[in-house]
């Protein structure tokens, strides 16, 4: 007699043998550059807390004040009785920050992408996505029921040819900053192609907002593009903002359409109002404290110079995401463990998160890192089996 799920053990063993097994780290401390695991201190180089706001005291204070006013839970979906003054104020402030007509909060970035794409296109339409897009964007495209096409990474010419063969409405979807390589999407070219073909352009700038651009406006600020060129913008709040959740920003018609049609917005409980208050405090810091972005630029350049001096196979870019390419998944995991033994947390990223044969260390920087942290990491890397 075959027991239910009896094949799962074999599948897990196969994943382990391929060097692709995933494990969780259990933190004893709050988020930051300095972490504690099992009582041991580590320097953290694998967080998306790019501006160092996840444990900022002013943001924590705003959260506590929000709890005092609104309680812990929202109690309902936004469209029932869960939409508070805090949520509404944050949406208005995010719209202003991104230079758009309106913004709409979602519980997670995954839910934003799933609900957004499905609300805009259906079986008679076409979704075209960059081959290296985040899983949430790919899943959103596939589950929308639209014809699903992928274009070669950052290749506007290939996209143009794909658009020529597309039927119905066409939605072009891309990350702004690609999460595993740290490179920027060629948004100026994508905007030109989509405008010419009367297609919509959707950008998920999860890793750019708050970090890229003099004002933290992300890759759209970097390229000087607005709502006309990029009609659909997605941002997450759990990275540079240091809190949790996501939003979509765009025209009045876009936001009203999502309120009416986006299932991941309609059929889920709103995030706690206190969290919205915390994010409002975070947004103020992002706008005012430009030194955080300048500090990141300095740290990134220092790392790139040092990496070149010790012969690391890096893919330089302007983002806080600095991958060190290794290739073999077992080796990437091995080097990650060596760094952990030396007191540094650096994640090994392996398939299916990245293409087969392109396993890497994904090193990320925070504005709270110091120059000596960069130098110490480089020294540790030079003593691994890279």
pLDDT tens, 338-361?
999 999 999 999 999 999 999 999
How many folded domains does the chain comprise?
A: 2
The whole-angstrom separation of Cα 95 and Cα 36 is 37
| Contact (Cβ atoms closer than 8 angstroms) between residue 239 and residue 210 | yes
Q: Domain holding 142: CATH number?
A: 3.40.640.10
What secondary structure letter does DSSP report for 2? Answer: P
Q: Is residue 180 pLDDT above 80, yes or no?
A: yes
Three-state secondary structure call for residue 197: coil
One domain, residues 162 and 237: yes
One domain, residues 83 and 42: no
Unique residue bearing structure tokens 């030194």: 291
**Total length of the chain:** 386
Summarised one tens digit per residue, pLDDT across range 105-120 is 999 999 999 999 999 9
| Contact (Cβ atoms closer than 8 angstroms) between residue 33 and residue 369 | yes
Distances (CA, A) of 66 to 40, 105, 157: 33, 17, 49
239 is known as an active-site residue: yes
- The two structure tokens encoding residue 102: 């309106």
Q: Is residue 4 pLDDT above 80, yes or no?
A: no
Per DSSP bridges, beta strands 232-236 and 200-204 are: parallel
Distant-in-sequence, close-in-space partners of 181: CB < 8 Å, separation ≥ 6: 132, 315, 317, 321, 323
One domain, residues 283 and 294: no
Per-residue pLDDT at 186: 98
Closest CA to 112 of 124, 123, 120: 120
Summarised one tens digit per residue, pLDDT across range 140-167 is 999 999 999 999 999 999 999 999 999 8
Q: Which of 266, 288, 310 is the last residue of a domain?
A: 288
One domain, residues 190 and 242: yes
Whether 247 is in a domain gets the answer yes
207 is known as an active-site residue: yes
Q: Domain holding 27: CATH number?
A: 3.90.1150.10
Averaged over 37-41, what is the pLDDT? 94
Residues 78, 239, 295, 369: which is the catalytic one? 239
Whether 4 is in a domain gets the answer no
Q: Which of 288, 321, 343 is the last residue of a domain?
A: 288
Distances (CA, A) of 232 to 167, 169, 211, 235, 250: 20, 15, 19, 10, 5
Whether 1 is in a domain gets the answer no
Q: Is residue 47 pLDDT above 90, yes or no?
A: yes
284 is known as an active-site residue: no
One domain, residues 227 and 328: no
With vertex at residue 50, the alpha carbon angle to CA 47 and CA 56, rounded to the nearest 5 degrees, is 95
The whole-angstrom separation of Cα 321 and Cα 324 is 10
Q: Is residue 8 pLDDT above 70, yes or no?
A: yes
Alpha carbon dihedral 136, 142, 148, 153, in 10-degree steps, equals 20
Per-residue pLDDT at 2: 66
- The two structure tokens encoding residue 83: 């939409």
Distances (CA, A) of 113 to 107, 143, 205, 264: 11, 11, 11, 9
Whether 9 is in a domain gets the answer no
Per-residue pLDDT at 209: 98
Summarised one tens digit per residue, pLDDT across range 189-211 is 999 999 999 999 999 999 999 99
Per-residue pLDDT at 1: 57
Averaged over 301-328, what is the pLDDT? 93
The distance of Cα 300 from the centroid of its chain, to the nearest Å, equals 18
pLDDT band at 313 (very low <50, low <70, confident <90, very high): confident
Per DSSP bridges, beta strands 40-44 and 34-37 are: antiparallel
One domain, residues 154 and 117: yes
One domain, residues 44 and 72: no
Q: Is residue 90 pLDDT above 60, yes or no?
A: yes
Instruction: State the chain's mean pLDDT as an integer.
Output: 96
Three-state secondary structure call for residue 356: coil
| Contact (Cβ atoms closer than 8 angstroms) between residue 88 and residue 96 | no
Whether 7 is in a domain gets the answer no
Whether 188 is in a domain gets the answer yes
| Contact (Cβ atoms closer than 8 angstroms) between residue 262 and residue 119 | yes
The DSSP code sequence of 59-90 is HHHHHHHHHHHH-S---SBIIIII--HHHHHH
Per-residue pLDDT at 351: 95
One domain, residues 317 and 268: no
Per-residue pLDDT at 7: 87
Residues 144, 179, 319, 347: which is the catalytic one? 179
% of residues, the chain, pLDDT over 70: 99
Per-residue pLDDT at 348: 96
One domain, residues 236 and 328: no
Q: Which of 288, 318, 353 is the last residue of a domain?
A: 288
Whether 117 is in a domain gets the answer yes
Summarised one tens digit per residue, pLDDT across range 239-256 is 999 999 999 999 999 999
Whether 337 is in a domain gets the answer yes
One domain, residues 199 and 238: yes
Residues 87, 149, 207, 295: which is the catalytic one? 207
Three-state secondary structure call for residue 306: helix
With vertex at residue 180, the alpha carbon angle to CA 177 and CA 185, rounded to the nearest 5 degrees, is 25
Domain that holds residue 64: 57-288
One domain, residues 212 and 73: yes
Averaged over 273-292, what is the pLDDT? 98
| Contact (Cβ atoms closer than 8 angstroms) between residue 74 and residue 271 | yes
One domain, residues 144 and 127: yes
Per-residue pLDDT at 167: 83
């Amino acid at each position: 007699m075959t027991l239910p799920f009896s094949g799962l053990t074999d599948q897990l063993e196969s994943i382990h043998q391929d060097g692709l097994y995933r494990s969780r780290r259990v933190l004893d401390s709050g988020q930051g550059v300095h972490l504690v695991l099992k009582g041991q201190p580590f320097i953290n180089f694998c967080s998306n807390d790019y501006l160092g706001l996840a444990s900022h005291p002013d943001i924590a204070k705003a959260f506590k004040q929000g709890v005092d006013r609104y309680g812990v839970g929202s109690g309902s979906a936004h469209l029932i009785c869960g939409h508070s003054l805090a949520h509404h104020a944050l949406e208005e402030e995010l719209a202003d920050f991104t230079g758009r007509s309106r913004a709409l909060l979602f519980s997670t970035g995954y839910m934003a992408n799933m609900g957004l794409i499905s609300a805009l296109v259906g079986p008679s339409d076409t979704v075209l996505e960059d081959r290296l897009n985040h899983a949430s964007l790919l899943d959103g495209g596939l589950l929308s029921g639209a014809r699903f096409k992928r274009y070669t990474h950052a290749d506007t010419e290939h996209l143009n040819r794909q658009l020529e063969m597309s039927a119905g409405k066409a939605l072009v979807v891309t990350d702004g900053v690609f999460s595993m390589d740290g490179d920027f999407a060629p948004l100026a070219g994508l905007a030109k192609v989509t405008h010419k073909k009367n297609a919509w352009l959707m950008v998920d700038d999860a890793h750019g907002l708050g970090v890229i651009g003099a004002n933290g406006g992300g890759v759209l600020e970097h390229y000087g593009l607005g709502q006309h060129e990029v009609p659909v913008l997605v941002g997450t709040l759990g990275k540079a903002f240091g809190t949790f959740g996501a939003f979509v920003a765009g025209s009045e018609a876009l936001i009203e359409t999502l309120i009416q049609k986006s299932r991941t917005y309609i059929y889920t409980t709103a995030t706690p109002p206190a969290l919205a208050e915390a994010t409002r405090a975070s947004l103020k810091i992002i706008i005012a404290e430009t030194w955080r972005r300048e500090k990141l630029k300095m740290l990134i350049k220092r790392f790139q110079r040092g990496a070149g001096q010790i012969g690391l196979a890096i893919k330089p870019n302007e983002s806080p995401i600095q991958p060190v390419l290794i290739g073999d998944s077992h080796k990437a995991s091995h080097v990650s463990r060596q760094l952990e033994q030396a007191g540094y947390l650096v994640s090994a990223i392996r398939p299916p998160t990245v293409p087969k044969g392109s396993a890497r260390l994904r090193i990320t920087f925070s504005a709270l890192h110091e120059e000596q942290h960069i130098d110490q990491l480089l020294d540790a890397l030079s003593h691994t089996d890279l």
